[in-house]
Structure 1
Amino acid sequence: MPNFTPDQNKAIVLEAFDTLFNQRDAIAAARFWSPDYIQHSAHVPAGRDGLFARTAAAPPDMSYEHQLAVAEGDFVLLHGRFNNIGQAAAWIVVDICRLKDGVLVEHWDVIQDEVGQAQSAGGHPMYGTAFPS
């Protein structure tokens, strides 16, 4: 039975997200997601097929970028941004992924619309070092 380190799990999740959300290659991405994948997001239909269908229906210029990846055991947390999602604002997201034997088996997320400086009560950007233009 394979035993993956937290750093290996982090690399797997980052490659999986890039493959699915940036390269938009569901065939290649299938190796990263279990056929029995459990999806807890309110925005994505159940299972791997639901995730892939949701991604295929997204605007063609949608993209994902991550700012931070943290791993502990079989869990990887990403702080990232989904751009060009077909809504007025990008999404700032914390994705929580659970892996088993190097494959994503479960996912949760916390999503906020990105705001500009005028809407930021704290005066700091939600992602990166600059507010969106």
Structure 2
Amino acid sequence: MSKTSPEQNKALVLAAFDTLFNKRDYAAAERFWSDKYIQHSAHIEPGRDGLFNLIRSIPDSLRYEHGPILAEGDYVIVHGRFSGHGRPAAWIAADIVRIENGKLAEHWDVLQDEANQAESKSGLPMFGDRFPA
């Protein structure tokens, strides 16, 4: 179990995601992700290099927004939206991250294309309080 608090772990994940996905600062991002990073996503090649290479292959217009974030022990779950990646719909994600020694050590995700208002059977947006433009 980590010696960091849930609040510190949440702040770490948000800073890491902003640094990599929004700022695209790979050198700084290396300080957030373990060099032994374990990737469970079906969409991303193994390790930290797999993640960084995926982001390098996506247009610079990529943007990440976070919604609710929860932490317990060494685990953080964040609800987010990835937009500007060159596909017709943004991705809505639930990212689960395990923290070890102050770095992101392991990752799982659930990704889904964001539904617009016409596609939403519930009539509610998947992220935030309004549908995408």
Fold-level match, TM-score > 0.5? yes
Matched, 1:124 2:124: yes
Aligned counterparts of 2:85 and 2:42: Cα–Cα separation in 1: 16
Q: 1:10-62: per-residue Cα shift (whole Å, max 9, x none)?
A: 00000000000000001000011000000011111100011011111111100
Query: For residue 80 of structure 1, what is the aligned residue in structure 2?
Result: 80
Query: For residue 42 of structure 1, what is the aligned residue in structure 2?
Result: 42
Deviation at 1:101, TM superposition (A): 1.6
Query: For residue 109 of structure 2, what is the aligned residue in structure 1?
Result: 109
Aligned counterparts of 1:64 and 1:71: Cα–Cα separation in 2: 19
Q: 1:125 is aligned with what amino acid?
A: P
Deviation at 1:3, TM superposition (A): 1.2
Q: 2:18 is aligned with what amino acid?
A: D
- CA RMSD after TM alignment: 0.8
Deviation at 1:68, TM superposition (A): 1.0
Q: 1:131 is aligned with what amino acid?
A: F
Alignment map for 1:11-50 (pairs within 5 Å): 11-50=11-50
Aligned counterparts of 2:111 and 2:47: Cα–Cα separation in 1: 19
**DSSP-derived class of the 1:69 partner:** strand
Deviation at 1:85, TM superposition (A): 1.2
Aligned counterparts of 2:63 and 2:41: Cα–Cα separation in 1: 18
Structure 1 residue runs of 5 or longer lacking an equivalent are: none
Deviation at 1:66, TM superposition (A): 0.2
Identity score, percent: 57
**DSSP-derived class of the 2:118 partner:** helix
Query: For residue 61 of structure 1, what is the aligned residue in structure 2?
Result: 61
Q: 1:90-112: per-residue Cα shift (whole Å, max 9, x none)?
A: 00000000001211000000011
TM-score, length-scaled by structure 2: 0.97
Aligned counterparts of 2:120 and 2:57: Cα–Cα separation in 1: 31
Aligned counterparts of 1:43 and 1:67: Cα–Cα separation in 2: 21
